Amino acid sequence: MTDRDPGAPASPPRPWRNLYGRRQGKPLRPAQRERMETGLEAVRLRGVSWEENPQRIPLSGLPDRLWVEIGFGGGEHLHAQARAHPEVLLIGAEPFVNGVAQMLGHLAAEPLPNVRLHPGDARDLLEVLPEASVERAFLLYPDPWPKARHHKRRFVTPGPLGQLARAMRPGGELRIATDIDDYVRQTLEEVPRAGFALIRGPAAEAWPDWPGTRYERKALREGRQPHYLTFRRA
């Protein structure tokens, strides 16, 4: 990553606080850097960033079946869903550079034409998706923000959930997975208020098509119980 050119125009101010922590962890390996420099452009969804779309004009030309993963981590779940559902366009949003690089590694090993990535805040994506366009959304092991003073940074708060509710079609499915008991509590309080009905969970068993992720394995390894919840957009 390079510093911004001091002569370049500044991005418009963000009307929200971050829902995520670091943008990058360990330095990328040479192959990962190359994928970020050359492979990302082939799958990056355009018109999402503030620089490309400062007036937040809605995206157009999206297919009828659209699924969105909010924070795809290392990309295992996103890639597996895209492989299993070639008829669906899957858009993944992830601000963590290392996660994007890992997802590009999956696509380099097994290219899938129905994947698009937004390497940034999912709220930018939700803001420009057409109303009632998303058939299914995934929020899987999101940043828990465990301290009480940071709970307002969780995705399951009115602002982000309102964006998601606007973008999802009636009857659309929202899947949430977390290993944090208090995140379950807040999810059960806030998600129904945003216009979603709980139809399954909190369950200890994941969905039948769940491929497993590194975050699930870490939770189990550290003795935390995963919880899986399914909601339906009213």
Cα 84 to Cα 146: distance, rounded to the nearest angstrom = 34
Reference 95, options 87, 103, 105; nearest CA is 103
Q: Is 69 annotated as a binding residue?
A: yes
Cα 230 to Cα 224: distance, rounded to the nearest angstrom = 20
E strands present in the chain: 66-70, 89-93, 115-118, 134-140, 168-178, 196-203, 227-233
Question: What does DSSP assign to residue 114?
Answer: T
Q: Is 218 annotated as a binding residue?
A: no
Q: Is 205 annotated as a binding residue?
A: no
Strand, coil or helix: 217: helix
Which candidate in 143, 181, 182, 209 is catalytic?
A: 143
Active-site annotation holds for 124 = no
Cα 220 to Cα 131: distance, rounded to the nearest angstrom = 37
173, amino acid identity: E
Q: Is 143 annotated as a binding residue?
A: yes
Q: Is 20 annotated as a binding residue?
A: no
Q: Is 181 annotated as a binding residue?
A: no
Q: Is 131 annotated as a binding residue?
A: no
Tell me which residue has tokens 């299914």: 136
Q: Is 215 annotated as a binding residue?
A: yes
Which residues line the annotated binding site for S-adenosyl-L-methionine? Answer: 69, 94, 121, 143
Catalytic residues: 143
Which residues line the annotated binding site for substrate? Answer: 147, 179, 213-216
